[in-house]
Amino acid sequence: MARVHLYVAAACAVVLALAAPSLAGDPDMLQDICVADKTIPIKINGFPCKANVTADDFFFDGLRNPGNTNNPNGAMVTAANVDTFAVVNTLGVSLARIDYAPGGLNPPHTHPRATEIIFVLEGVLEVGFITTADVLFSKIITKGDVFVSPRGLVHFQQNRGHGPATVIAGFNSQLQGTQQVAMTLFGATPPVSSDILAKGFRIDNRLVDAIKARF
């Protein structure tokens, strides 16, 4: 009987090990292609498939031009995910172009559904992520370098050069989701109670309200 239990436990371990990779990204698709049909309002963990598909559905030129970095962060993310590039529906991949003015910051944020890998096209960036043990892994990277931020962990990029910087970011999700830490906490709708944020950040309510007003 003990041996049977051992075999059952071993079989369960194998099943879990084989299943683990599938949990790291979007579910596997059940057809060759499923170009998202945005005209249908029903969504079941994704978008319904478009009926008539052409070669143009597989083409996207939205990353050709720099994004407008004239904003408070001095950075702009241009996405090629299912919201803008319908063909990646069910494919478990997406891209983004991120442009940074000198000093520009892609502020601390997380992607709950994807690991992010960036490739530097130009510029000098300080990049990093923070583990759940509050350990920072940070690096200065330049043209041709690659850096990975694991799924769900807070990470950031800032332009440390004197000129513009640009990266291409890849994700193992058709729609990685993005939560900017500051915006999520101080710009939520309805707002998070000021006393909760004051206690959490160990600051007073007036400072919390002043920060909220900026979002």
Annotated binding site for Mn(2+): 109, 111, 116, 155
Q: Identify the CA nearest to 143 among candidates 125, 156, 157, 127.
A: 125
- Largest interatomic CA distance in the chain: 70
Which residue numbers belong to the known binding site? Answer: 106, 109, 111, 116, 155
Distance in angstroms (rounded) separating the CA atoms of residues 118 and 155: 12
Q: What count of Cα atoms within 13 Å lies in the side-chain half-sphere of residue 215?
A: 18
Q: Is the peptide bond before 150 cis (omega within 30 degrees of 0)?
A: no
Which residue numbers belong to the known binding site for oxalate? Answer: 106, 111, 116
Task: Dihedral sign for Cα 98, 192, 134, 116, please.
Answer: negative
Q: Is residue 171 within 8 Å of 97, Cβ to Cβ?
A: no
Question: In 3-state terms, what secondary structure has residue 42?
Answer: coil
Strands (E), the chain: 75-80, 94-100, 105-110, 116-122, 124-130, 136-142, 146-149, 154-159, 165-171, 179-180
In the block, residue with structure tokens 């079989």: 11
